[in-house]
């Protein structure tokens, strides 16, 4: 299945929103205490509002037969903290590949596009968050060279 990676454009928002619902469903199954069923991080309208923003590049993976089969939503963030060195990071806010296109290199192609974007913008690093229950995603990112930068721990206090 030939795949093209490109910047998202008007007309892609519905497919991205559908994939966002799919990944949110997985998160709701893994952490139902935090992720409500039937929701998503962004609606199609919210996705559309992100298109073209200089600091929020969005990539899509497009198949000539299936249409949009994956996306990567990014943010360019410049850290200004007196305790740290100033640096710019490309934060991978969200990445998902359709179940129909998984295990075919599409996720890696999207990550490669994110890395190219980060390098072109002079970013120090590429970062992301992944939930501990999402073992498949953790394995995927580790296989693609990611290492733990820090760990967030929690103590659930509510019943």
Virtual CA dihedral for 99, 71, 111, 31, nearest 10 degrees?
Answer: -60
For residue 11, pLDDT over 80 is answered with yes
Mean pLDDT of 8-16: 94
Residue 156 is assigned to a structural domain of this protein: no
CA–CA distance, 153 with 140 (Å, rounded to integer): 22
Structural domain that includes position 119: 3-143
Residue 157 is assigned to a structural domain of this protein: no
Question: Which residue, among 70, 51, 153, 57, has the nearest Cα to 110 in the 3D structure?
Answer: 70
Residue 155 is assigned to a structural domain of this protein: no
Residue 58 is assigned to a structural domain of this protein: yes
Tokens of 90: 């490309």
**Overall domain count for the chain:** 1
Q: In 3-state terms, the chain is what percent helix, strand and coil (to 5)?
A: 35, 25, 45
Q: Round the average pLDDT of the chain to a whole number and report it.
A: 92
Confidence of residue 127 (pLDDT cuts 50, 70, 90): very high
CA–CA distance, 70 with 61 (Å, rounded to integer): 5
Residue 62 is assigned to a structural domain of this protein: yes
- 108-124: per-residue pLDDT in tens? 999 999 999 999 999 99
Question: Which residue, among 23, 16, 67, 66, has the nearest Cα to 44 in the 3D structure?
Answer: 16
- 16-44: per-residue pLDDT in tens? 999 999 999 999 999 999 998 888 888 89
Question: Which residue, among 55, 145, 53, has the nearest Cα to 108 in the 3D structure?
Answer: 145
Collapsed DSSP state (helix, strand, coil) of residue 136: helix
CATH number of the CATH domain containing 126: 3.40.630.30
Q: What is the pTM of this model?
A: 0.91
């Amino acid at each position: 299945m030939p795949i093209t990676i490109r910047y998202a454009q008007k007309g892609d928002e519905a497919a991205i929103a559908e994939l966002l619902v799919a990944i949110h469903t997985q998160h709701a199954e893994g952490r139902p205490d935090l992720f409500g069923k039937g929701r998503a991080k962004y609606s199609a309208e919210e996705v559309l509002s992100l298109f073209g923003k200089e600091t929020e590049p969005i990539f899509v993976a497009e198949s000539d037969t299936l249409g949009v089969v994956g996306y990567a939503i990014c943010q360019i963030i410049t850290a200004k903290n007196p305790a740290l060195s100033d640096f710019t990071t490309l934060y991978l806010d969200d990445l998902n590949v359709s179940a129909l296109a998984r295990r075919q290199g599409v996720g890696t192609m999207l990550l490669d596009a994110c890395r190219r974007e980060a390098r072109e913008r002079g970013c120090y690093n590429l970062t992301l968050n992944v939930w501990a229950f999402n073992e498949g995603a953790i394995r995927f990112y580790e296989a693609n060279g990611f290492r733990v930068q820090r760990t967030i721990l929690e103590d659930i206090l509510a019943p």
